[in-house]
């Protein structure tokens, strides 16, 4: 009887874990996904209201001259989340924040430096 109880508990646990949600979307959280293609030095603002940042992917396919990416919030005095080293090609940088990072006032992705190359940036936020 003890062996049967152990098997039943294992079976119930296996079933329960196989049907649990595994992502934010499955919990009913709506995630917004946006992307930008940089070919000139500019600032991209995916959202201009307070948001929770979950993912950032930066992909440099053509290097510029001393080009960097800066990610910061849009407070009066912005808090900088990330400043990249000088981008080289090919480079892919990925950040995943399972619980999210609060970005007060919104999110700015700034592409700057000497001469622009080609960089793509994807963000997901709520």
Minimum mean pLDDT range among 4-8, 33-37, 91-95, 106-110: 4-8
| pLDDT confidence tier of residue 13, bands split at 50, 70 and 90 | very low
pTM given for the model: 0.76
Q: For residue 76, what are the CA distances in angstroms to 53, 92, 106? A: 19, 30, 11
The confidence score (pLDDT) of residue 27 equals 63
What is the CATH architecture of 25-125?
A: Sandwich (2.60)
Where on the phi/psi map is residue 28: left (φ > 0), alpha (ψ -120 to 50), or beta? Answer: left
Residue 110 pLDDT greater than 60, yes or no: yes
């Amino acid at each position: 009887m003890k062996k049967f109880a152990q098997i039943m508990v294992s079976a119930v646990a296996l079933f329960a874990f196989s049907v649990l949600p595994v992502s934010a979307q499955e919990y009913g959280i709506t995630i917004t996904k946006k992307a930008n293609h940089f070919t000139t030095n500019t600032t991209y603002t995916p959202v201009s209201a307070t948001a929770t940042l979950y993912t950032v992917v930066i992909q440099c396919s053509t290097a510029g001259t001393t080009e960097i990416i800066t990610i910061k919030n849009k407070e009066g005095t912005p808090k900088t989340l990330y400043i990249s080293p000088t981008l080289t090609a090919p480079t892919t940088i990925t950040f995943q924040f399972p619980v999210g990072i609060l970005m007060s006032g919104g999110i700015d992705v700034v592409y700057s430096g000497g001469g622009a190359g080609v960089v793509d940036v994807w963000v997901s936020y709520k």
